[in-house]
Amino acid sequence: MGSANKAGQFVWNRKHLLGLRELNVEEITYILDTAKGFEEISTRSVKKAPPLRGKVVVNLFFEDSTRTRNSFTLAASRLSADVIEFTEKGSSVGKGETLLDTARNLEAMGVDIVVIRHSAGGAPKLLSRNINACVVNAGDGYCEHPTQGLLDVYTIRKIKGSLKGLKIAIVGDISHSRVARSNMWAMTKLGAEVTFVGPPTLMPPQVNKLPVKVSYSLDNIIEKVDVINMLRIQFERLGGNPFPSVREYSHYFGLTVERMKRAKPDILVMHPGPINRGLEIESEVADGKNSVILQQVKNGLAVRMAVLFLVNQAAAQET
């Protein structure tokens, strides 16, 4: 519900960030613009600013993730918030507390922002309906990973100026990828043309109804794209065996030095991390001059600071 206020100006009034599908262009741009203002904090000697001072941010991670969690912890700390880590592996069913019970407990403790990562799509939404605090989705099942989507478009925008008309390829296990979905929403809304690339066995049902093109051949599109986002093959998520071997997958869909020779010289190479070196991307490419992988991490911090700041602002509006 980011929308115009009485004076017709844009106002951010979403106290939850659950996904990018429901955001409009103005809202996405607003977050990116706000993130720009946060980049500077990480370059000073005192890397702190006070807007979340006295606020409690909880990292509620039901799935393993060091990098996203650390990124959020650092972002919250930079804004002077108090951070609580609440990590619990496995689903709630049959193992102690249900998600709602956990939510009610957190509420009783008095938290302001919950950053949640969960294996069930829709879990952050369920949480947001049952808790007063702000909810920020750090990844839910294969639904969305909004801060990743935002930092990806932020990175592209910072280097290329705008996403309008850019051709972007997202390569890998699309069917199980929340990064692919969040990317798709943000990038298409900002005017880019997105192509999902991967074997047919890793494409989600009715992918042709999504606002993207689909290609089963990396070789066919490598020359045409301005940005390429390589997704990690998540062995822990693959059901059955969607491709006969790692060898064959890399052969057809790996980003090799060879393929890079045919790509545009100023192509941006992205990856949400962690990288499976030699599997979806060759080391030389990951470390090469077109790679912006480390910039993604850096920008992730500014984007997450912006998100925490904005949802907190919206919550303050409510009172």
The residues of the shown chain that bind another protein, judged by CB under 8 A, are: 5, 7, 9-12, 21, 33-34, 36-41, 44-46, 48-51, 79, 91-93, 98-100, 118-123, 125-126, 140-144, 178, 181, 204-207, 209-210, 239, 306, 309, 312-313, 316-319
Q: Give the DSSP H/E element, type plus range, for residue 26.
A: helix 25-39
Closest contact distance (angstroms) between CB of 105 and another protein is 15
Q: Which amino acid is at 24?
A: N
Between the alpha carbon of residue 116 and those of residues 9, 17, 138, 301, the distances in Å are 31, 11, 5, 17
Q: Minimal distance in Å, beta carbon 46 to another protein?
A: 4
Q: How far is the CB of 44 from another protein (least distance, A)?
A: 5
Which of 53/67 has CB closer to another protein?
A: 53
Rounded to whole angstroms, what are the CA distances from 305 to 32, 57, 140, 314?
11, 12, 20, 14
What minimum distance in Å lies between the beta carbon of 141 and another protein?
A: 4
Q: With 0-12 CB in 10 A as exposed, 13-18 as middle and 19+ as buried, what is 220?
A: exposed
Nearer Cβ to another protein (93/108): 93
CB closer to another protein out of 114 and 255: 114
Cβ-based nearer residue to another protein, 208 or 261: 208
We find the least distance from the C-beta atom of residue 259 to another protein, in angstroms, to be: 28
How far from 149 is each of 17, 207, 241, 299, CA to CA, in Å?
A: 12, 19, 28, 11
- Which is closer to another protein, CB of 91 or CB of 215? 91
DSSP string, 55-104: -EEEEEESS--HHHHHHHHHHHHHTT-EEEEEE--S-STTSS--HHHHHH
